[in-house]
């Protein structure tokens, strides 16, 4: 990477992500210490090191390389997700979501392919929704029928595979990312809303299909009446957040983590809010919103359709995952297993997110993108032209260029 490219990278984004990772290490240590001592924190520290490596790999990969090999990323991630359903899959807590890659001493090395699949989905969608010849030109949804149907079939297939792993939360993220990217690429709002309604009906079917999912929906409406059953996690999460008040009980002094079975993973925000209060919880939310805003800003500044969709898809991924986790922890939606980005314990989530930030930084340092097949691409900055091309952003996204 050249010094000029490094200088154009978003240092504020790097700082916010680093802050969240550090907060996560402290929160994981705090939430898991009563049960496991320093074991979980050391594992998360190791994964943070792997994630840092993945971040630099993401910064080195050319958008042209990503464009040409997006199919390999997509097929590879789907293969790993299917492998989870085979005897190679590892079952934990009634769900089969992990693959065991080996063992270091007494510690198993587990990966969750669905976390990597979210990044692969963003790459593949960005590839499908861009011009078949050049990275920078827009191909509208209306140009052909097959890309739209291919994308819908792909989203449905990935969603079904993830639901089969008993991971409805991640399936919702897959669908949300897909819909947002389709709309960005030019899908009319009416069709996007119609597709959303159709998928909501499908999602409701999957909810009523399993008794435990339906029980979570019932417990979500009255968690304290079901606190010794399906509402156990949510009830203790709400009590922990309520106990924290404005200033919190103090680091290490929270009680919710002693009762929450997922205190360092999906419900880590409850421990943060209890021990640091509204101030600490708000700081975490502000940092997450700041990361989303910086990634979205980078997406809006890029002048190539592929990189625009890539960065915006990552922004949507971070935003949706953050909101879904916070909504679950605060009882705003029924309980589902989705980690809090950069903070929750989990190596696959942390590594895939840091890799995504590396890709975004590559976009930030190279907004014009290299040519493919020597065809010049359109530049969109207001109405200023590049060569003979001058289009508005609306025209650009609709495929006029």
pLDDT tens track for 302-324: 878 888 899 999 999 999 999 99
What pLDDT, on a 0 to 100 scale, did the predictor assign at position 131? 61
What pLDDT, on a 0 to 100 scale, did the predictor assign at position 6? 43
Distance from C-alpha of 164 to C-alpha of 175, rounded to nearest angstrom: 15
pTM of the predicted protein model = 0.86
What pLDDT, on a 0 to 100 scale, did the predictor assign at position 284? 97
Q: Is 344 left (phi over 0), alpha (psi -120 to 50) or beta?
A: beta
Q: Bigger pLDDT: 161 or 66?
A: 66
What pLDDT, on a 0 to 100 scale, did the predictor assign at position 147? 57
- Tell me what the mean pLDDT of segment 72-80 comes to: 89
DSSP 63-82: HHHHHHHHHHHHHHHHHHHH
Q: How far is CA 96 from CA 19, 112, 163, 254, in A?
A: 32, 9, 10, 31
What pLDDT, on a 0 to 100 scale, did the predictor assign at position 392? 46
* Candidate from 136-150, 153-167, 290-304, 346-360 with smallest mean pLDDT: 136-150
Q: How far is CA 211 from CA 94, 163, 173, 206, in A?
A: 13, 14, 22, 10
| Both tokens assigned to 378 | 């359109």
Domain region containing 327: 3-398
Helix (H, G, I), strand (E, B) or coil at 111: strand
Find all residues with CB under 8 Å of 76, minimum gap 6, and list them: 120
Q: What is the pLDDT of residues 16-60, one digit of tens each?
A: 999 999 999 999 999 988 787 788 899 999 999 999 999 999 999
Q: What is the pLDDT of residues 201-227, one digit of tens each?
A: 888 887 777 777 788 888 888 888 888
* Candidate from 60-64, 88-92, 195-199, 345-349 with smallest mean pLDDT: 88-92
Q: How many domains does the chain have?
A: 1
Phi, psi of 138 (to 5 degrees): -90, 135
Q: Give just the sign of the alpha carbon dihedral 258, 262, 267, 271.
A: positive
Q: Largest alpha-carbon pair distance within the chain?
A: 68
Q: How far is CA 135 from CA 128, 130, 358, in A?
A: 11, 6, 19
Q: Is pLDDT of 96 > 50?
A: yes
What pLDDT, on a 0 to 100 scale, did the predictor assign at position 93? 65
Q: Closest by alpha carbon to 266, among 336, 317, 200?
A: 336
Q: Is pLDDT of 104 > 80?
A: no
* Candidate from 9-13, 72-76, 174-178, 394-398 with smallest mean pLDDT: 394-398
Q: What is the pLDDT of residues 361-384, one digit of tens each?
A: 999 987 655 444 333 343 333 333
Distance from C-alpha of 277 to C-alpha of 253, rounded to nearest angstrom: 12
What pLDDT, on a 0 to 100 scale, did the predictor assign at position 46? 93
Q: What is the pLDDT of residues 262-292, one digit of tens each?
A: 789 999 999 999 999 999 999 999 999 999 9
What pLDDT, on a 0 to 100 scale, did the predictor assign at position 5? 46
| Both tokens assigned to 287 | 């940092």
Reported as a pLDDT band with limits 50, 70 and 90, residue 143 is low
| Both tokens assigned to 155 | 């989203």
Q: What is the pLDDT of residues 159-201, one digit of tens each?
A: 788 877 778 888 889 989 988 988 887 777 888 888 888 888 8
Distance from C-alpha of 250 to C-alpha of 242, rounded to nearest angstrom: 14
């Amino acid at each position: 990477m050249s010094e000029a490219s490094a200088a154009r990278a978003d240092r504020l984004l790097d700082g916010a992500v680093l802050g969240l990772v550090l907060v996560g290490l402290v929160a994981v240590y705090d939430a898991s210490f009563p049960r496991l001592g320093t074991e979980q924190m050391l594992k998360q520290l190791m994964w943070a090191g792997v994630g840092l490596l993945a971040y630099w790999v993401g910064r080195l990969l050319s958008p042209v390389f990503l464009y040409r090999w997006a199919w390999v990323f997509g097929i590879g991630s789907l293969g790993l997700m299917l492998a989870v359903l085979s005897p190679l899959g590892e079952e934990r807590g009634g769900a089969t979501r992990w693959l065991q890659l080996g063992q270091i001493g007494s510690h198993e090395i587990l990966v969750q392919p669905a976390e990597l699949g979210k990044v692969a989905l963003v790459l593949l969608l960005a590839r499908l929704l861009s011009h078949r010849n050049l990275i920078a030109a827009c191909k509208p949804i209306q140009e052909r029928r097959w890309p739209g149907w291919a994308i819908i079939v792909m989203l449905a297939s990935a969603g079904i595979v993830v639901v089969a792993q008993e991971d409805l939360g991640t399936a919702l993220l897959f669908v949300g990312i897909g819909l947002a990217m389709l709309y960005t690429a030019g899908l009319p709002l009416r069709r996007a809303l119609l597709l959303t309604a159709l998928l909501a009906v499908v999602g409701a079917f999957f909810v009523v299909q399993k008794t435990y999912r339906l029980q979570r929906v019932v417990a979500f409406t009255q968690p304290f009446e079901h606190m010794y059953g399906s509402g156990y996690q949510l009830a203790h999460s709400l009590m922990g957040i309520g106990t924290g008040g404005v200033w919190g009980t103090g680091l290490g002094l929270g009680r919710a983590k002693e009762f929450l079975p997922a205190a360092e993973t999906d419900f880590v925000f409850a421990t943060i809010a209890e021990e640091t209060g509204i101030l600490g919880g708000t700081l975490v939310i502000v940092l997450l919103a700041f990361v989303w805003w910086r990634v979205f800003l980078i997406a809006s500044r890029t002048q190539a359709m592929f990189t625009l969709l890539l960065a915006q898809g990552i922004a949507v991924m971070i935003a949706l995952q953050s909101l879904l986790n916070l909504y679950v922890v605060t009882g705003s939606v029924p309980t589902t297993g989705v980690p809090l980005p950069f903070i929750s314990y989990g190596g696959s989530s942390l590594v895939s997110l840091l890799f995504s930030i590396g890709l975004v930084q590559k976009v930030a340092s190279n907004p014009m993108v290299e040519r493919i097949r020597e065809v010049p691409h359109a530049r969109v900055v207001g109405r200023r032209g590049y060569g003979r091309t001058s289009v508005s952003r609306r025209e650009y996204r609709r495929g006029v260029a």
